């Protein structure tokens, strides 16, 4: 399809004209991407992308899950044979089933990327699968399609990755020392596997953590010290935030001695399920405590049942399309943390969930009172036009525009970064235009807010 | 009121023109109604409808509940005296209170049916109640208003009823042998009363089930065998699906011996509430197992508190307007079933609920991964324009158009079938037109999807 | 900003023209405000408002919470120094941070009030803070800005306050005897602090209640008698309703002896948490029983975690902006009450919550069957254009227009009453216009409904 100038705009002529004008004013502004999952190695090594299947299918579980739902095996979609022949076959499957992506977030970003990056306006199909494959494959060999060139072309002002606390951040260092690369790529401290004793391998993880910082015995005080130490290492290498993916955002506050006791019980396998939950909740509060000290922003992504289908997880590992949202609760769960640190001037706590009812029931009201709390952008499944519009409609009346996080692309798919931000900017422009036409804000306000949403607001939220 | 050409369409001129064009392309396509509650006897006996009250009020608890809420007794609305005089009085009450239906799903379908079927465009009121009654009553005596004639006129390609597993399906057989009737009316296997030991009379139901298939002792293995036998009987007589109305869609998977033990405990009245829940959950998983064997599609309708008002239930029985939705959860509850059979090529599991937050939080993500899972259409209270639009907006970005069930009317009100499908087709046309104008899909895609939504998609979902 | 004629209207030219016409037809109709929190003393004493900060900031925790979230202390926003100098400083903070209110409900009502009441169309800022302060302060000294003059100007037909059961209602009496004041200001019986043994000071509250009605011993039968007595006192002084703010709307029905036993256990500090919950649930059912006797309407506001931030509560007390909504459930919780009194002709039970998913999942279905139940208007955080529109879209298809409460402003901010009702009338007009253009209701119906929504419906709901 041919991209239209006014895409994502629905409304009267006047509303659309104003939306277009607002979008125009921000469309060329640099992208701030303070949370995502791009592999820093991709940029550090700066090798050409192998082929269209690797680029658009293999690592995008938004796409593979829908093909899986249509009956295709993950083995033929990057989790098995990835030979050139297999890649071409995967691409064919993808093109033949293009219709299943119609109306989805993935369909939108792929369509945009095909045209904007590769000049492709044909609708993918079984017929043109091979020629599209060849066309893209050829372009991937051009220097302007190397990751670093794209980074520059995308006008990314800052890109945050998500990293294990024990990661030595070698690719980040390599990028910082790469004289050809002037972009800013920063790590994010993601300690889930160390904080929650219910995680498999938790004991090993703790041992490795203690070892990494050269402490000699596995005890609670060293565990805390090691985490502080790794945070400092991350901060020193540019990190501005820590990220926490939790099933429930439960927080607790144990006494030092109680924390020590349960920590021991967890290590010796004698802790009850309740004690493990208390400990995990305590560690979330400890993270807030450390943020008050070191200033790292906390982002909390809550309410996902990870790896829902056991067999797929066993065969193909995590991030294979079957993380399924569940109901989530913040008001009660976060109370302990917020009562202790919610008004601390150093804390920023950005809340994300996949339960849109919670946006206006809990998150916006919390962000409308606590200086530390901010409303996380529509995330994951909600990273799409209608969801993003509902997000604005539900959150703005309660918390205004200035208690948000700015848009977060949260993506593994490097090529999708510009179009995701474009989507957010277009939806926000449309929303603002509607408010102006309904006399709810002035045009001047709209113009200022449009700019702030992509600049001042994410900068403030992530202390950039 | 006079029906307008562009009804249910809101948008710009261009959007409405395209919506109208898309609707035009599907408005005459046959109706596939793969789940509903029309009584097969109605069609088999093919007798004239008695009078307007019986036709529009007595059996439509969408309507009677709202009149009840306004203070009228169910006794005067079909649950007591139904003499001709009483029927006329019920009709008068209905006409005098026409305003309470404004904006409701019932108001919409009644208005359409009055005009499209009876040529009535006057707004019902106390003043014209009698003349409307007479006008409709006269028409009901005409041969074109006999149920079979309407079935043909409605252009119904297939109509599924919902039936007790022990039903001998005599009316379905009668219809199949009726040389004057060429329509396809198929049964649906609805075993709730046999699967859940918490149902009153469960023990008797099980006994009757075992007796029906001529097995001699009430034991678990025979219970399973009897269910399989009755499913085979239903399938042999045209059934394509089983239907499951559950309070919560909890699934479990007991060992053979454990299932046998709890089955016995349930029969002897010694089972605990937890054991009963486990058994009911186990039987839902067993239904999936049987579906993998016999290919019958499973539909699950979850999250309703049945018969909320005890006194009304005692006096007037079930389906009297006080089934009230409750919160529902699929992600955790269905996991056992899905881990066992979720990727089985023979299983189709269509999920319905009355908690719209679950549409995009759980159902669309599940359907976007598991080949077996499909998103059930907006059901019951949501079978109306604004709800149906929200459904598309919430589900499409996550699961696309092709993981759905197609529209399901789920109605007892035979006359409302065409207008309900018209509603769905109009809303879908409007939604598609908006996507086209926002540059999210092409016109060609929209045209194809509009057709697929009423044909290929429900056919595939229900294996028709 | 300059208010536009068609504010809050988005739609096609035709839709907006009709919305404007519908709004025109009701814009001058008297305001019925059957539930709110204006202090009756304000009207009784009829003194000039002190200054702009007191008028617009100090008592409006919608506003102060957002300033608090931006980092300002509640101490400088009315909870500390309130000298003229401090007031001017608070006003300056407010003006300098005007942008944080853009798009919020507060931003909307403040903008309207500035222009409609004070003729101010400038956007507040640091620059004009002082001049705006002076301009408003000067006007506040004019006789037309005295509370009673405003009451008349606002065209309020009836205003209900919310009062403690032991309040002697002196200000209501004073207003009734004030020959210069012809308005109707009625009290509302709000007994939360007496019904729930989990409330701090409950024991003292009960003692005071018994004392107030001159009963000699603190026992259950006297407790009940005292409540009945105070309800009678309120009714005698004009009350039409009782109001119940509950964390969960749980209802129970204890035997007389069991209630007496638990009441005693609560007083002696020996009751378990479960027993306290049962007692609180029992008392809600008792309130319904009393309503069947005395005819007072019950309003239930459920699902709020009060005083979420302990430190702020300790320092500044309640109603300081950190009451945070939680998930709420009515279907199961209310069943005991509804099974006992749900069809009683004297009971009206209006349900409010801050969990919009419950509007169409539970409240509308309940109100669509039980004659006693009505759907409460979008409340508190939802008292804003987009939320109010979603409310209509979610509720109308299930319960129609006539099972509602009419708009409820629920405000402490006296000046905001007209604009809040204007907001509701505009949104309803827009919603009705859309239904007309989609052929879902006739223009005649829309005209009638628009009028009924602001007159017949609230009158019937609150027995006015």
- Per-residue model confidence (pLDDT) at position C320: 95
Q: Which residue of C has its CA nearest to A452?
A: C99
> Is A349 strand, coil or helix?
strand
Task: Note the pLDDT tens digit of each residue in C95-143.
Answer: 999 999 999 999 999 999 999 999 999 999 999 999 999 999 999 999 9
| A441–B contact, CB cutoff 8 A | no
Which of B22, B331, B431 should we substitute to test contact with A (largest number of A Cβ atoms within 10 Å)? B331
Cα–Cα distance measured from residue A419 to residue A409, given in angstroms and rounded to the nearest whole number: 10
Q: Which of C68, C101, C354 sits opposite A400 (nearest CB)?
A: C101
Residue B152 to residues A356, B36, B50, B144, B386, Cα–Cα distance (Å): 44, 17, 20, 10, 30
CB C361 within 8 A of CB B358: no
> Exposed (0-12), middle (13-18) or buried (19+): which is C256, by Cβ within 10 Å?
exposed
**A&B contacts, CB < 8 Å:** 147
Q: How far is C415 from chain A (nearest CA, A)?
A: 19
Contact C104 A369 (CB under 8 A): no
Chain C residues touching A13 at Cβ < 8 A: none
Split at pLDDT 50, 70, 90, the class of C291 is: very high
With bands split at pLDDT 50, 70 and 90, how would you rate the model's confidence at A102? very high
Do residue B103 and residue C400 have CB atoms under 8 angstroms apart? yes
Report the pLDDT value the prediction gives residue A214, as an integer from 0 to 100.
Answer: 87
Shortest distance, CA C445 to any CA of chain B (angstroms)? 8
Mean pLDDT over the full length of chain B: 97
Tens place of pLDDT for every residue, chain B, 464 residues? Answer: 789 999 999 999 999 999 999 999 999 999 999 999 999 999 999 999 999 999 999 989 999 999 999 999 999 999 999 999 999 999 999 999 999 999 999 999 999 999 999 999 999 999 999 999 999 999 999 999 999 999 999 999 999 999 999 999 999 999 999 999 999 999 999 999 999 999 989 999 999 999 998 888 889 999 999 999 999 999 999 999 999 999 999 999 999 999 999 999 999 999 999 999 999 999 999 999 999 999 999 999 999 999 999 999 999 999 999 999 999 999 999 999 999 999 999 999 999 999 999 999 999 999 999 999 999 999 999 999 999 999 999 999 999 999 999 999 999 999 999 999 999 999 999 999 999 999 999 999 999 999 999 999 999 999 99
Q: Pick left, alpha or beta for residue A328 (phi over 0 → left; psi -120 to 50 → alpha; otherwise beta).
A: beta
- The structure tokens listed for B187 are 């049964």
In three-state secondary structure terms, B305 is strand
Suggest the residue from C103, C354, C356, C383 to mutate for an interface test with chain A (most A CBs closer than 10 A).
Answer: C103
CA distance, residue A344 to nearest chain C CA (Å) = 10
Q: Where are the beta strands (DSSP E) in A164-276?
A: 185-186, 241-246
Return the residue in A345, A438, A442, A451 with the most chain C beta carbons within 10 A, the one to mutate for interface testing.
A438
Question: Which residue of chain B is at minimal alpha-carbon distance from C359?
Answer: B355
CB A160 within 8 A of CB A186: yes
Measured CA to CA, the distance from residue B308 to residue B321 in angstroms comes to 9
Distance (Å) from the alpha carbon of B323 to chain C's nearest alpha carbon: 8
Contacts of A342 in chain C (CB under 8 A): 309
Supply the pLDDT for residue B369: 98
User: For A319-339, how does the pLDDT look when each residue is reduced to its tens digit (9 = 90+)?
Assistant: 999 999 999 999 999 999 999
Residue C79 contacts residue C316 (beta carbons within 8 Å): yes
For C28, the token pair is: 């001058």
Residue C215 tokens, joined = 């009963």
pLDDT at residue C362 greater than cutoff 80: yes
Cβ distance A281 to A447 under 8 Å?
A: no
Max distance between CA atoms of chain B, in angstroms, equals 69
Predicted pLDDT of residue A2:
81
For residue A430, the chain B residue with the least C-alpha distance is: B438
Select the residue from A400, A405, A432, A457 to test the C interface by mutation, using most C Cβ atoms within 10 A. A400
Phi, psi of B333 (to 5 degrees): -60, -40
A337-374 residue pLDDT tens: 999 999 999 999 999 999 999 999 999 999 999 999 99
pLDDT value of residue B209: 97
Quick check: B406 and B382 in contact, CB under 8 A?
no
Residue A300 — φ and ψ, nearest 5°?
A: -120, 120
The pLDDT, as a whole number, for residue A216 is 83
Picking from A39, A85, A32, A94, the residue whose alpha carbon sits closest to that of residue A63 is A94
pLDDT at C26 over 80: yes
Residue A392: the pLDDT is 98
Nearest Cα of chain A lies from the Cα of B441 at a distance, in angstroms, of 6
Q: Please list the residues that pair with B185 across neighbouring strands.
A: B159
The single residue listed with the structure tokens 């409330």 is C199
Q: What is the pLDDT of residue B216?
A: 83
Residue C1's pLDDT band (cuts 50, 70, 90): confident
B381/C397 touch (CB, cutoff 8 Å), yes or no: yes
A383: closest CA of chain B, how far (Å): 9
Interface of C with A in 127-186 (CB under 8 A): none
| Chains adjacent to C (≥3 CB pairs closer than 8 angstroms) | A, B
pLDDT at A237 over 90: yes
The reported pLDDT for the residue numbered B214 is 87
Please report the beta strands in B326-418, taking only residues with DSSP state E, as ranges in sequence order: 349-353, 373-375
pLDDT at residue C427, rounded to an integer: 98
Please, are residues B251 and B334 in contact by the beta-carbon 8 Å criterion?
A: yes
Is C332 in contact with B355 (Cβ distance < 8 A)?
no
Judge whether B10 is closer than 8 Å to chain A, CB to CB: no
Q: What span, in angstroms and rounded, lies between the C-alpha atoms of B454 and C261?
A: 63
Q: C421: exposed, middle or buried (C-beta count within 10 Å: 0-12, 13-18, 19+)?
A: buried
Give me the helices (H) in B119-190, please. 129-140, 147-153, 170-177
Rounded (5°) CA angle A305-A162-A111 = 80
- ipTM over the 0.90 cut-off: yes
Q: Is C201 left (phi over 0), alpha (psi -120 to 50) or beta?
A: left
What tokens does B94 get?
């209905």
pLDDT value for C463: 98
In the complex, which subunits touch B with 3 or more CB pairs below 8 angstroms?
Answer: A, C
* CA A355/CA A330 separation, integer angstroms: 11
- Give the pLDDT score at B1: 72
Query: Which residues in C lie closer than 8 A to residue A357 (C-beta atoms)?
Result: 355-357
Window C:216-275, CB contacts with A under 8 Å: none
Q: Are the beta carbons of B339 and A7 separated by less than 8 Å?
A: no
SS3 sequence of chain C: CCCCCCCCCCCCHHHHHHHHHHHHHHHCCCEEECCCCCCHHHHHHCCCCCCHHHHHHHCCHHHHHHHHHCCCCHHHHCCCCCCHHHHHHHHHHHHHCHHHHCCCHHHHHHHHHHHHHHCCCCCCCCCCHHHHHHHHHHHHCCHHHCHHHHHHHCCEEEEECCECCCCCCHHHHHHHHCCCCCCCEECCECCHHHHCCCCCCHHHHHHHHHHHCCCCCCCHHHHHHHHHHHHHHHHHCCCCEEEEEECCCCCCCCCHHHHHHHHHHHHCCCCCHHHHHHHHHHHHHHHHHHHHHHCCEEEEEECEECCCCHHHHHHHCCCCCCCEECCCCCCCCCHHHHHHHCCCCCCCEEEEECCCHHHHHHHHHHHCCCCCEEECCCCHHHCCHHHHHHHHHHHHHHHCCCCECCCCCCCCCHHHHHHHHHHHHHHHHHHHHHHHHCCCCCHHHHHHHHHHHHCHHHHHHCCC
Identify which of C103, C322, C355 has the shortest CB distance to residue A440: C103
Which of A16, A67, A102 is best to mutate for the B interface (most B CBs within 10 A)? A102
Distance (Å, rounded) from C-alpha A79 to C-alpha A322?
A: 15
Which residues of chain C does A15 touch, with a Cβ-Cβ cutoff of 8 Å? 10
What pLDDT does C215 receive? Answer: 83
Inter-chain residue contact B365 with A10, CB threshold 8 Å: no
In this predicted structure, what is the pLDDT of residue C68? 98
- H helices present in A46-169, as ranges: 52-53, 61-69, 84-96, 105-118, 129-140, 147-153
DSSP A352-374: EES-THHIIIIIHHHHTT-TTEE
How close A399 comes to chain C (CA, Å)?
7
pLDDT tens per residue across span C42-67: 999 999 999 999 999 998 999 999 99
Residue pair C257/C318 in contact by the 8 Å Cβ criterion: no
Give me the pLDDT at residue A304, please. Answer: 96
Q: Taking a contact as any Cβ pair under 8 Å apart, which residues of chain B between 304 and 333 contact chain C? A: 305, 308-312, 321-322, 324-327
Average pLDDT of chain A, as a whole number? 97
Confidence of residue A439 (pLDDT cuts 50, 70, 90): very high
Q: Which of residues 334-363 of C touch A (CB under 8 A)?
A: 354-357
Interface touch C102/A445, C-beta < 8 Å: yes
Whether C386 contacts chain B with CB within 8 A: no
Whether residues C339 and B311 touch (CB distance < 8 A) is answered with yes
CA distance B245 to chain A (A): 22
Whether residue A329 and residue C325 make contact (CB cut-off 8 A), yes or no, is no
Q: Note the pLDDT tens digit of each residue in C203-216.
A: 999 999 999 988 88
User: Tell me, what DSSP letter sits at residue B401?
Assistant: S
């Amino acid at each position: 399809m041919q991209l239209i100038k006014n895409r994502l705009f629905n409304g009267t002529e006047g509303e659309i004209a104003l939306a277009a004008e607002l979008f125009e004013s921000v469309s060329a502004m640099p992208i701030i991407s303070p949370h995502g999952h791009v592999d820093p190695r991709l940029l550090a090594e700066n090798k050409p992308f192998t082929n269209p299947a690797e680029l658009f299918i293999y690592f995008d579980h938004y796409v593979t899950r829908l093909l899986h739902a249509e009956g295709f095996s993950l083995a033929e979609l990057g989790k098995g044979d990835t030979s050139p022949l297999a890649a071409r076959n995967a691409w064919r499957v993808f093109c033949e089933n293009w219709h299943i992506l119609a109306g989805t977030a993935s369909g939108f970003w792929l369509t945009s990327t095909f045209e904007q990056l590769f000049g492709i306006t044909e609708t993918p199909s079984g017929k043109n699968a091979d020629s599209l494959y060849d066309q893209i494959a050829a372009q991937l060999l051009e220097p302007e399609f190397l990751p670093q060139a794209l980074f520059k072309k995308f006008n990314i002002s800052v890109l945050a990755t998500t990293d294990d606390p024990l990661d030595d951040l070698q690719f980040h260092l390599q990028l910082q020392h790469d004289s050809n690369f002037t972009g800013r790529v920063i790590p994010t401290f993601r300690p889930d596997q160390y904080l929650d004793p219910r995680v498999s391998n938790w004991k090993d993880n703790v041992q490795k953590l203690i070892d990494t910082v050269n402490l000699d015995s596995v005890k609670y005080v060293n565990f805390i010290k090691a985490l502080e130490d790794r945070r400092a290492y991350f901060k020193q290498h540019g990190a501005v935030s820590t990220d926490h993916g939790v099933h429930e955002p439960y927080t607790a506050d144990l006494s030092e001695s109680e924390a020590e006791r349960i920590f021991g019980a967890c290590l010796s396998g004698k802790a009850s399920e309740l004690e493990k939950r208390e400990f995990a909740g305590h560690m979330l509060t400890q993270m807030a405590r450390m943020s008050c000290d070191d200033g790292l922003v906390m982002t909390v992504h809550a309410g996902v049942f990870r790896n829902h289908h056991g067999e797929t997880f066993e065969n193909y590992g995590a991030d294979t399309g079957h993380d399924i949202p569940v109901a989530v609760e913040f008001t009660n769960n976060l109370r302990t943390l917020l009562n202790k640190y919610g008004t601390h001037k150093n804390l920023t706590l950005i809340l994300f969930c996949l339960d849109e009812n919670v946006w206006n029931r809990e998150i916006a009201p919390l962000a409308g009172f606590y200086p530390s709390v901010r409303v996380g952008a529509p995330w994951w499944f909600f990273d799409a036009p209608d969801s993003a519009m509902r997000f604005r409609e539900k959150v703005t009346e309660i918390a205004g525009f200035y208690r948000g996080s700015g848009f977060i692309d949260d993506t593994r798919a490097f090529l999708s970064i510009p179009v995701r931000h474009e989507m957010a900017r277009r939806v926000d422009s449309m929303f603002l235009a509607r408010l102006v036409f309904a006399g709810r804000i002035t045009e001047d306000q709209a113009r200022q807010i449009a700019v702030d949403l992509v600049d001042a607001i994410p900068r403030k939220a992530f202390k950039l």
